[in-house]
Amino acid sequence: MHISEGILSWQALAGGGALALAGTAVGIRQLDHEKIPQTGMLSAAFFVASLIHIPLGPSSVHLILNGLVGLILGWSAFPAIFIALLLQAVLFQYGGITTLGVNTVIMALPALLSYCLFRPFVKKSDTSVFIGAFLCGMAAVFASALLAAAVLVWSEESFFQVALLIVTAHLPVMIIEGLITGFAALFLKKVKPSLLDRETSIKEKP
């Protein structure tokens, strides 16, 4: 879901850059030393997930995993996703430097919103964990597709058909991401529950 260079209006680029800067700043402030390894790991997972992508107009269809990143990191999803997108733009020319802010917001803001909505569910039974994580992964992708579509239409009304195609093409991705996030959350609940429950993490500290 990378928006390429030379497509968006300067207003969209400026607004996206400002929001990405603010979100990344807050995320870095909330990133303590103990969260750095898991943040790096999830940033790498996000980076790898979108290496295999199918071009679709000015964007692309691929796995995103922003729901899983948001579920575990919260606000720190912003710097994790920003770094991954920066490396993708520099190393593989996915997206671009001028669109880095917009692309970060498109993927990190839904990750944060999904965290706020569904994180409470992952502290309960296995069924609740799976359903909450599934919805988190699915909602994050859907919201990202909607944001990408909205930014394209805001920049140029003639992009409406492309925007509609982006949302439609990501519907099956939503289901896949929901399943991946659900099973990943169940696995983490068994082997490392502190990643899903801040209270458990505090209790585990010596």
| Per-residue pLDDT tens listing for the chain (206 residues) | 678 888 888 899 999 999 999 999 999 998 888 888 889 999 999 998 877 766 665 556 788 899 999 999 999 999 999 999 999 999 988 888 999 999 999 999 999 999 999 988 887 788 889 999 999 999 999 999 999 889 988 888 777 887 788 888 888 889 999 999 999 999 998 888 888 765 444 344 44
The domain ranges of the chain are 10-204
Q: Is 93 left (phi over 0), alpha (psi -120 to 50) or beta?
A: left
pLDDT at 23: 95
Q: Which helix (H) or strand (E) holds 55?
A: strand 54-56
Name the 3-class secondary structure at 4. Answer: coil
pLDDT at 200: 41
Measured between alpha carbons, how far apart are the two ends of the chain, in Å? 42
State the CATH class of domain 10-204: mainly alpha
Name the 3-class secondary structure at 51. Answer: coil
pLDDT at 55: 66
Q: Which residues pair with 55 in a beta bridge?
A: 60
pLDDT at 63: 85
- Which residue matches tokens 């909607």? 146
